[in-house]
Chain A
Amino acid sequence: MIKKTLLTTAAATALLAASPALADCTIKVGVLHSLSGSMAISETTLRDVMLMLIDGQNAKGGVLGCQLEAVVVDPASDWPLFAELTRQLLTVNEVDVIFGAWTSVSRKSLLPVLEELNGLFFYPVQYEGQESSRNVFYTGAAPNTQAIPAVDYFLEELGVESFALLGTDYVYPRTTNAILEAYLLGKGIAPEDIFVNYTPFGHADWSTIVSDVVALGAGGKQVGVISTINGDANIGFYTELAAQGVSADDIPVVAFSVGEEELSGLDTSRLVGHLAAWNYFMSLDTPENEAFIAAWHEFIGDTNRVTNDPMEAHYIGFNMWVNAVEAAGTTDVDAVREAMWGQEFPNLSGGMAVMNTNHHLSKPVLIGEIRADGQFDIISQTAEIPGAAWSPFLPESANLVSDWKELECGMFDTATNTCVQLTSNY
Chain B
Amino acid sequence: MLRLPRLAAFAACLIALACFGAAPAAAQTPPASDSITPLQDVLQQVQPQVANPSRATVPQVLGALLAADAPGTVAFLRAWADREVYERPADGLFFFARDTANRNLMLVDIDTGAELAEVTSREVNQIRPNAGVRREIGAALVSFELLNPDPARRLAALENIARSPDSEQIEPLQAAFAIEEDNRISERMERLLDLLNARFATDTATRVDAIDGLSGDISTEARRILNQILQTRAEFAPEIPEGTNVARVRTPGVDMDLAAAYATLADAGLAPPHLGRNAIRDALRNNVVDGTVGGVPVHLLDNDERRREAYEALEAAGMVAPLVTEEDMRAAVAEYVFFDAYLEPDPAVTTAARASLDSTRTAISLWQFLSISLDAVSLASIFFLAAIGLAITFGVMRVINMAHGEFIMMGAYTGYVVQTVIPNYTTSLVVALPLAFAVTFAAGVAMERLVIRHLYTRPLETLLATFGISIALQQLAKNIFGTQARPLTAPDWLAGAIQVNDLVSVASIRVAIFAMALGFLVLLLFILNRTRLGLEVRAVTQNPGMAASMGINPDRINMLTFGLGSGIAGVAGVAIGLVAQVTSEMGANYIVQSFMTVVVGGVGSVFGTLAGATLIGALQKGIEWFNPTNTLAAQTYMVLFIILFIQFRPKGIVALKGRAAGD
Q: A contacts B directly in the complex (CB < 8 Å)?
A: yes
A residues apposed to B, CB below 8 Å: 36-38, 40-41, 44, 153, 156-159, 169, 195-200, 202-205, 207-209, 211-212, 214-215, 217-221, 231-233, 235-236, 239-240, 242-245, 248-250, 252, 264-267, 270, 273, 285-287, 369, 377-380, 415
- Interface residue from B55, B128, B507 paired with A240 (Cβ < 8 Å): B507
Cβ of B485: which chain A residues have Cβ within 8 Å of it? Answer: 41, 231-232, 235, 265
Q: How far is the CA of A379 from the CA of B581 in the complex (A)?
A: 29
**List of B residues within 8 angstroms of A169 by Cβ:** 632
B122 partner residues in chain A, CB cutoff 8 A = 285-287
- The residue of chain A having its C-beta at the shortest distance from the C-beta of B489 within the complex is A267
Q: Is the CB of B585 within 8 A of A202?
A: yes
Q: Which residues of B contact A248 (CB under 8 A)?
A: 131
Check A219 against B227 for contact (C-beta < 8 Å).
yes
**B227-A218 in contact (CB<8A):** yes
Task: Check A212 against B379 for contact (C-beta < 8 Å).
Answer: no
The reply to whether A205 and B379 contact each other, CB–CB distance below 8 Å, is: yes
Q: Assess the B631–A200 pair: CB atoms within 8 A.
A: yes
Considering only CB atoms, which chain B residue lies closest to A77 in the complex? B483
Contact check, B131 vs A273: say whether CB atoms are below 8 A apart. yes
Contact call A379/B130, Cβ cutoff below 8 A: yes
Does B145 make an interface contact (CB < 8 A)?
no
B60 at interface (Cβ–Cβ under 8 A)?
no
Of B220, B508, B589, the residue contacting A217 (CB under 8 A) is: B220
**Which 10 residue pairs of A and B lie closest in terms of their CB atoms, listed nearest first?**
A220-B227, A204-B580, A243-B507, A220-B228, A218-B223, A235-B581, A40-B483, A157-B132, A158-B132, A232-B581
Cα A249 to Cα B83 in complex, Å, equals: 15
Which of B37-45, B185-193, B621-629 forms contacts with chain A? Answer: B621-629
Interface centre among B132, B228, B278, B483 (most CB of A within 10 A): B483
Q: How far is the CB of B527 from chain A (nearest CB, A)?
A: 29
A220 engages B226 (CB within 8 Å): yes
Stretch of B14-22, B288-296, B323-331, B495-503 contacting A (4+ beta carbons < 8 Å) = B495-503
**Chain B CB within 10 Å, residue with most, of A40, A204, A205, A211:** A205
Cα A38 to Cα B478 in complex, Å, equals 10
Complex Cα gap A249–B139 (Å): 13
What bracket does the count of chain B residues touching chain A fall in? 35 or more
| CB within 8 Å for A159 and B55 given contacts A41-B484, A197-B630, A267-B489 | yes
Beta-carbon contact of A209 and B224 below 8 Å: no
10 further interface pairs, Cβ-Cβ under 8 Å (given A235-B581, A243-B507, A378-B128): A198-B630, A208-B621, A215-B220, A218-B223, A220-B227, A235-B580, A249-B163, A369-B130, A377-B128, A379-B128
Q: Report the Cα distance A86→B502, complex, angstroms.
A: 53
Tell me, yes or no, whether B378 is within 8 Å of chain A by CB. Answer: yes
Q: For residue B376, which residue of chain A has the nearest CB? A: A208
Which residues of chain A come closer than 8 Å to B632, judged between CB atoms?
169, 198-200
Q: Which of A209, A240, A244, A380 contacts B631 (CB 8 A)?
A: A209
Cross-chain pairs A/B with CB under 8 angstroms, 15 sampled? A36-B478, A44-B483, A156-B54, A198-B632, A199-B631, A202-B581, A219-B227, A220-B225, A220-B230, A231-B485, A232-B581, A235-B580, A240-B507, A249-B131, A369-B128
A200: shortest Cβ distance to chain B, in Å? Answer: 5
Closest-by-CB residue of B relative to A395 is B278
Given A198-B630, A243-B496, A265-B485, do A156 and B131 touch, yes or no (CB 8 Å)?
A: no
B307 near A: Cβ within 8 Å? no
Within 8 A of A (CB), among B71-97: 83
- CA separation between A414 and B495, bound complex, in Å? 55
Q: Which of chain A's residues have a CB closer than 8 A to the CB of B489?
A: 267
Closest B residue to A290 using CB positions: B122
User: Does any Cβ of A come within 8 Å of B264's Cβ?
Assistant: no
Which residues of B211-249 have CB atoms within 8 Å of chain A's CB atoms?
A: 220, 223-228, 230-231
User: Inside 8 A of A379's CB, which chain B residues have their CB?
Assistant: 128-130
Q: Which of B223, B226, B483, B495 contacts A243 (CB 8 A)?
A: B495
Within B257-280, the residues touching A (CB, 8 Å) are 278
Whether B516 is near chain A, meaning CB under 8 Å from some CB there, is: no
Task: With A157-B55, A169-B632, A265-B484 as known contacts, state yes or no: A204 contacts B130, CB within 8 Å.
Answer: no
A265 to B482, CA, bound (A): 12
Q: Which of B55, B83, B579, B624 counts the most chain A CB atoms within 10 A?
A: B579
Nearest-CB residue, chain A, relative to B487: A265
Chain B 473-494 interface residues, beta-carbon cutoff 8 Å to A: 478, 482-487, 489
Residue among A37, A235, A243, A252 having the largest count of chain B Cβ atoms under 10 Å: A243
Contact A252 B224, CB 8 Å, known A211-B505, A244-B497, A265-B484: no
Residues of A within 8 A of B487 (CB): 235, 265-267
The CA of A36 and the CA of B479, in the complex, are separated in Å by 10
Task: Give Cα A47 to B510, complex, Å.
Answer: 39
Q: Which residues of B contact A267 (CB under 8 A)?
A: 487, 489
Indicate if the CB atoms of B581 and A204 lie closer than 8 Å.
yes
Instruction: Say how far B267's CB is from chain A's closest CB, in angstroms.
Output: 13
Bound complex: CA A158 to CA B131 (Å): 7
Q: Quick one: which of B372, B484, B583 has the most chain A CB within 10 A?
A: B484
Closest residue of B by beta carbon distance from A212: B628
A residues in contact with B630, CB < 8 Å: 197-198
As a 0/1 sequence over residues 128 to 170 of chain B, the CB contacts with chain A under 8 angstroms (1 = contact) are 1111111100000000000000000000000000010000000
In whole angstroms, what is the CA distance A221 to B223 when docked? Answer: 11
> Which residues on B sit within 8 Å (CB–CB) of A198?
629-632
Which B residues between 373 and 400 are near A, CB-CB below 8 angstroms?
375, 378-379, 382
Distance to closest chain B CB from A387 (angstroms): 24
Given A158-B130, A243-B495, A196 contacting B629 (CB threshold 8 A): yes
B55 and A158: CB pair below 8 A? yes
Partner pick for B629 among A158, A195, A221, A235, CB 8 A cutoff: A195
B56 within 8 A of A: yes
Is the C-beta of B371 less than 8 angstroms from some C-beta in chain A?
yes
Is B427 located at the chain interface by the 8 A CB criterion? no
Note all chain A residues with C-beta closer than 8 A to B589: 202, 204
Residues of A within 8 A of B505 (CB): 211, 244-245
Write out the residue numbers on chain B whose beta carbons fall within 8 Å of the beta carbon of A204.
576, 579-581, 589
